[in-house]
């Protein structure tokens, strides 16, 4: 059974989108130029705010996470894997990783996009202060919804 979460966030002039192995959204509203993985700020949810049902769907090694990044007329589909190692208990951040490393901020591993490989149109939209809807769809059985 697929479980969906929706997160609204916005852009910031310091969004660079150049990190080679991750991308991140955060509830924080301030961003320094060093945050090269951050693509969205002011999110209305951090990892800890995700529902118990969503967390349960991602805790399987077979789980798939499909993330839609929707900003204006741009939609990017990111596919990642879940893991029994995900704790999803960080108060402010959600991080998608190309690697299999997990920590309290990690929402997906083995992601097929990083900040650097996301479309530049998306990064420009967010750097200009545009808004973004993040639609998360978790399937414990690995279907890619």
What are the domain boundaries of the chain? 3-139
Report the Cα 107 to chain-centroid distance in Å.
7
Question: Are 3 and 134 within 8 A, CB to CB?
Answer: no
CATH superfamily entry for domain 3-139 = mth639 domain like (2.60.120.630)
Confidence check: pLDDT of 112 > 60: yes
At residue 1, the pLDDT reads 76
pLDDT, averaged across the chain: 96
Scanning the chain, the segments in alpha helix (DSSP H) are 52-58, 120-127
22-61 pLDDT tens trace: 999 999 999 998 889 999 999 999 999 999 999 999 999 9
Backbone dihedral angles phi then psi of residue 4, each to the nearest 5 degrees:
-115, 145
Query: Which helix (H) or strand (E) is 133 found in, with range?
Result: strand 131-139
For the four alpha carbons of 31, 27, 66 and 70, in that order, the dihedral sign comes to negative
């Amino acid at each position: 059974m697929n479980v969906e979460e929706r997160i609204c966030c916005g852009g910031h002039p310091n969004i660079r989108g150049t990190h080679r192995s991750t991308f991140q959204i955060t509830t924080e509203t301030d961003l320094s130029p060093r945050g090269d993985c951050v693509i969205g700020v002011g999110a209305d949810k951090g990892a800890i705010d995700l529902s118990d049902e969503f967390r349960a769907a991602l805790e399987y090694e077979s789980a798939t996470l499909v993330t839609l990044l929707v900003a204006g007329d741009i939609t990017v589909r990111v596919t990642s894997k879940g893991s029994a190692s995900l704790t999803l208990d960080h108060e402010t951040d959600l991080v998608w990783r190309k690697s299999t490393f997990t920590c309290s901020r990690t929402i997906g591993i083995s992601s097929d996009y990083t900040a650097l490989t996301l479309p530049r149109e998306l990064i420009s939209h967010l750097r200009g202060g545009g808004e973004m809807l993040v639609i998360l769809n978790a399937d414990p059985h690995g279907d890619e919804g």
